[in-house]
């Protein structure tokens, strides 16, 4: 089947084109240009000046609308993959909590089951957050299940479903060799829940570390005589940083600082959303612990932040508004950087030959209007 999206403002890394149309054939983008230059097409969507951007890739989401990646069922992953379409997310990595080996395996089985019939957002695999964290920096992860890095456990998990990212504290015993082993398996190592020094970061980078998980949160802070991991994220030209752009995990001034010091090519917006996302305030159990949600902010009883209720489109809108970075630059941070880093070929740009994973956004609010996966309309605002 073919489809024409007419008269959109097309924003993709490095381009921002007014009144442009996108001709889709099958699951790919065939051509881009003025509607008059493209084939007459019976199936059309009139974008009426709305913005079309590459579908968002959320590489860090624990859940939404009452379901969790830890539920371990096809139904839960399907519900999450459906819920995320409303945020413009066309690809996601269900993200595990620090839990028992059995619970992690169950989660990976749920992901594998959905991947057999992925009708909503694509799920290229899992983000395993922990359990290999620094027990002093667990945040809302359950300290009971923290353990030392264990590549054999990762091998057992990836026998069930692809593991794309492992979030690990590189100062733990055996962690540098663990990072090296992840690299040989083409798994991204992401530094998380850590008290590592800048020197330990450099060792880990040498071994293959490429990401920082939820930048600045549960991470060695910047000190003027020891720049820590926050300093590493600001200074290092190669490392990519996950950003929870909700104005809570990073206050608005920190978002501005991040936008000022880290180029968009190194930023990856994430939601870190939990099952409470999209739900009314209340209580839930996450990773075996009670989470209280008040005014959309998730905390353990201890007060530690416990993920977010952030929507991906809001993350973009908040970061755009707070930093003033033009969309054509910032949009690299919503899918292109993630696709490149995870080697998801053919995703993250609006260009001929690429998959037609697209989201049409309201030009004023940046809220999604229509989401397409592989040229198929999978969600539309009522
Ligand atoms: Zn975390």
Total residue length of the chain: 382
CB 72 within 8 A of CB 63: no
Total domains in the fold of the chain = 2
Strand order, beta sheet including 240-244: 56-61, 89-96, 126-129, 163-168, 188-191, 211-212, 240-244, 267-270
> Ligand 1 mean position to 173 CA, how many Å?
20
Name residue, tokens 């905390």: 299
- 272-303 b/e (C-beta count within 10 Å ≥ 16 → b): bbbbbbbbeeeebebbebebbbeeebbbbeee
> Ligand 1 mean position to 116 CA, how many Å?
28
Element (H, E) at 298: strand 297-300
Q: Are residues 135 and 87 in the same domain?
A: yes
In the beta sheet, which residues pair with residue 250? none
Q: Residues of the chain whose pLDDT is less than 50?
A: none
CA atoms of 176 and 182, how far apart (whole Å): 10
Q: Are residues 218 and 186 in the same domain?
A: yes
The predicted pLDDT at position 284 comes to 84
Q: What is the dihedral of CA 33, 122, 179, 109, to 10 degrees?
A: -170
> Ligand 1 mean position to 311 CA, how many Å?
17
Q: Are residues 360 and 215 in the same domain?
A: no
For the domain that residue 12 is a member of, what is the CATH number? 2.30.40.10
CB 137 within 8 A of CB 194: yes
> Ligand 1 mean position to 9 CA, how many Å?
35
> Ligand 1 mean position to 20 CA, how many Å?
40
> Ligand 1 mean position to 97 CA, how many Å?
8
Active site (catalytic) residues: 272
The predicted pLDDT at position 285 comes to 83
Q: Are residues 205 and 330 in the same domain?
A: yes
Q: What is the pLDDT of residues 288-324, one digit of tens each?
A: 889 998 888 999 988 889 888 899 999 999 999 999 9
Residue 41, domain extent: 2-53+348-380
Q: Are residues 228 and 274 in the same domain?
A: yes
Q: Are residues 74 and 46 in the same domain?
A: no
> Ligand 1 mean position to 237 CA, how many Å?
23
């Amino acid at each position: 089947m073919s489809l024409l999206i007419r008269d959109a403002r097309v924003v993709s890394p490095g381009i921002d084109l007014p009144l442009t149309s996108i001709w889709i054939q099958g699951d790919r983008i065939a051509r881009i240009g003025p509607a008059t230059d493209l084939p007459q097409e019976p199936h059309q969507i009139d974008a009426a000046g709305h913005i079309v951007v590459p579908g968002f890739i959320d590489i860090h989401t624990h859940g939404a609308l009452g379901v969790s990646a830890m539920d371990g069922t096809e139904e839960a992953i399907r519900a999450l993959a459906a819920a995320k379409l409303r945020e413009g997310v066309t690809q996601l990595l269900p993200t595990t909590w620090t839990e028992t080996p059995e619970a992690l395996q169950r989660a990976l089985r749920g992901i594998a089951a959905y991947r057999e019939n992925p009708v909503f957002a694509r799920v290229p695999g899992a983000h395993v957050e922990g359990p290999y964290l620094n027990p002093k920096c667990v945040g809302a992860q359950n300290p009971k299940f923290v353990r030392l890095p264990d590549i054999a456990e990762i091998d057992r998990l990836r026998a069930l479903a692809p593991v794309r990212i492992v979030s690990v504290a590189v100062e733990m015993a055996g962690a540098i060799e663990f990072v090296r082993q992840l690299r040989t398996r083409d798994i991204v190592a992401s530094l998380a829940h850590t008290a590592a020094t800048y020197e330990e970061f450099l060792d880990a980078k040498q071994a293959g570390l490429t990401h920082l998980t939820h930048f600045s949160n549960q991470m060695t802070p910047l000190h003027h005589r020891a720049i820590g991991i926050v300093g590493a994220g600001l200074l290092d030209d190669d490392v990519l940083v996950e950003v929870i752009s909700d104005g809570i995990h990073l206050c608005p001034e920190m978002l501005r600082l991040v936008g000022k010091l880290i180029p968009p090519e190194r930023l990856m917006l994430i939601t870190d959303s939990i099952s409470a996302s999209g739900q009314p305030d209340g209580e839930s159990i996450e990773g075996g612990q009670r989470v209280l949600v008040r005014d959309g902010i998730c905390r353990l009883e201890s007060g530690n932040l416990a993920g977010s209720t952030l929507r991906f489109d809001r993350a973009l809108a908040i970061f755009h508004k707070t930093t003033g970075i033009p969309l054509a630059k910032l949009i690299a941070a919503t899918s292109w950087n993630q696709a490149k880093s995870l080697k998801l070929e053919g995703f993250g740009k609006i260009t001929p030959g690429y998959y037609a994973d697209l989201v049409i956004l309201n030009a004023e609010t940046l809220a999604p209007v229509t989401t397409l996966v592989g040229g198929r309309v999978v969600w539309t605002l009522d």
